[in-house]
Amino acid sequence: MKTKPLFIVLSAPSGCGKSTLIDMLLQEYSDICYSISCTTRDPRGEEEDGLDYHFKTKERFEELIKEDAFIEYAKVHDNYYGTLKAPIQEVLAEGNSMILDIDVQGAAKVREYVRNLPNTDPMKIGYVDIFINPPSMEELRRRLEGRGTDAPEVIEKRLANAEGEMSHAAEYMYQVTNDDLAIAYKRLCDLVDALSGRM
């Protein structure tokens, strides 16, 4: 079945199950690709170039900025991070969909970029942004503490960040609350199916 190529921008505070939901979508929908960001930071642990990130030198990254190659980029702790336009354009031109996992500041830049595109641009035609909400701050705290990976002060910082991110939820076209993974995933699939004309 021929479906409409979507440009899906997904944001969520950490601990909302965003990575799990994205992994489930990518497993089920072979026509959805995941946008791999560029960064100037060094690879950590098992990270692979072209899989986790496109690792670039600072010089190369700055060249790409000059070439206007990024849909958005940001400097975080002295390192650049950015999303290239070309892979998104290529995926959509092939009739497939692209999913971009990005924080609310990055999503706001992408939204503004897309808003200024001509109405005939495939990125604008297929654009959809979705915010994943945690069930409640109490539950988010329970999940972050349950992971057992973060120190208490890191958890407090993540919770404060989550509140900050959630204050932008209304800027998104759709919101999905992840109180139950199976239900949240079903809602996400229903959205993707309806928007891509898979129904």
Residues in contact with ligand 5GP by the rule CB under 6 A = 37, 41, 72, 74, 76, 81-83, 102-103, 106
Report the candidate in 10, 192, 8 with the shortest Cα–Cα distance to residue 88.
8
Q: How far apart are CA 23 and CA 19, in angstroms?
A: 6
* Cβ 63 to ligand 5GP shortest distance, Å: 17
* Cβ 80 to ligand 5GP shortest distance, Å: 9
Query: Of 109 and 198, which CB lies nearer to ligand 5GP in the complex structure?
Result: 109
* Cβ 154 to ligand 5GP shortest distance, Å: 13
Tokens (6 digits) for 21: 């939901």
Contacts of 76 (CB under 8 A, 6+ apart): none
Query: Of 100 and 195, which CB lies nearer to ligand 5GP in the complex structure?
Result: 100
* Cβ 37 to ligand 5GP shortest distance, Å: 3
Query: Of 34 and 198, which CB lies nearer to ligand 5GP in the complex structure?
Result: 34
Query: Of 44 and 115, which CB lies nearer to ligand 5GP in the complex structure?
Result: 44
Is residue 66 a contact partner of residue 74, using CB atoms and an 8 Å limit?
no
In this structure, is the dihedral angle defined by the CA atoms of residues 150, 49, 64 and 34, taken in order, positive or negative? negative
Phi-psi region of 46 (alpha: psi -120 to 50; beta: other; left: phi over 0): alpha
Q: How far apart are CA 53 and CA 42, in angstroms?
A: 10
Own/partner pairs, 66-74, CB within 8 angstroms, 24+ separation: 70/38, 71/109, 71/110, 71/113, 72/102, 72/106, 72/109, 72/110, 72/113, 73/38, 74/105, 74/106, 74/109
* Cβ 8 to ligand 5GP shortest distance, Å: 15
Query: Of 75 and 186, which CB lies nearer to ligand 5GP in the complex structure?
Result: 75
* Cβ 103 to ligand 5GP shortest distance, Å: 5
Query: Of 52 and 139, which CB lies nearer to ligand 5GP in the complex structure?
Result: 52
Residue with the CB atom nearest ligand 5GP in the bound state: 37
